[in-house]
Amino acid sequence: MTSPARQALEYAAAALGFSAVGVASAHAHQGDYLRRWLAAGMHADMEWMQRHLPAREHPDRVLPGVNSIVILTYEYARTDTRDKSGAIARYAQGEDYHKLLAPKLADLDETLQFYGGRQRCFSDSGPVSERFFAQLAGLGWIGRNGLLIRPDKGSYCFLSSILTTLELPTDTPVANRCGNCHRCELACPTGALHDGCCDSRRCLSYWTIESKQAEIPPDIATAMQGRLYGCDACQEACPWNRPRSATPPIDPHLLMPAALRDADTDTLRRLSPDEFNKLFERSPIRRIGAEHLQLNLRCSNANQQKS
């Protein structure tokens, strides 16, 4: 079943480079997983997640009158093109995806306005449980690493959401196909993954990106193994990320620029604040600031010297 509004949305999304579109009901009960995760303290010091809980659980607080939640996927690079020491998570190797996807979502908002809808759009930037709704919308399932896994393309993608007052035809969820596989949990350098949960207090992505603490615990620093920003270990271990078809096209804006690809850790360590801002002008890495990058470099370098 389809509708003119959904047909127009899918056509426009494909033209803008999104790889898939799914729709879920905004009224679906989300369960208590997030509430239990927060109660266990697994969000570390990311207090904004606790503050935004009521909005996440009740999308009508984000957009009064919301009926449907559209989830879109946008591919990012599946290989690490950096040949110098100091690994950077694949999603962050190119331009900041928030800024890249915002105008595309604005175009889709305009498309749905034509059919009488009111919308709010986000790309990992608002109080929306995007992975939950992506699973409900049939785009994939949430794996043991907590990420959306798609049977045809794996987990290397960004998720965007459009909350709309339109009642769009919804999709059918797909079954979880992780089976007895625990490779992501076994591959996690700090043991942050268990039972489908990621404990931020142990996660390298949290410590290299989100943490506001002045130091990184010694056992976490030891596990960094040269990582400077984020961690892809659980995705690299996932068998669903092995190529099953032609590699989807990647937006050139999401590929690593030569200046970053060729910069070794000594070069990064010598960056002045102005040089840092220039090198990472369009990168999501800029938001952690030069001081945090230097902390990551110190921990990574100390670990490599010991090994």
Per domain, the residue ranges of the chain are 1-307
Distance of CA 39 to the CA centre of its chain: 22
Size of the chain, expressed as the number of residues it contains: 307
Per-residue model confidence as pLDDT tens digits over 92-150: 999 999 999 999 999 999 999 999 999 999 999 999 999 999 999 999 999 999 999 99
Over 50: is that where the pLDDT of 307 sits? Answer: no
Choose, from 124, 195, 264, 266, the residue flagged as catalytic. Answer: 124
- Angle subtended at Cα 56 by Cα 117 and Cα 95, rounded to the nearest 5 degrees: 75
Q: Is the pTM of this model over 0.85?
A: yes
For residue 1, the model assigns a pLDDT of 63
CB burial string 212-245: b at 16+ within 10 A, e below: eeeebeeebbbbbeebbbbbbbbbebbebbeeee
| Residue-wise pLDDT tens digits, 185-196 | 999 999 999 988
Mean pLDDT of 7-20: 98
In the annotation, is 195 catalytic? no
pLDDT at 302: 58
| Greater model confidence, 96 or 300 | 96
What pLDDT was estimated at residue 173? 97
Residues 283-303: what's their mean pLDDT? 90
Instruction: Tally Cβ neighbours within 10 Å of residue 48.
Output: 10
pLDDT at 63: 98
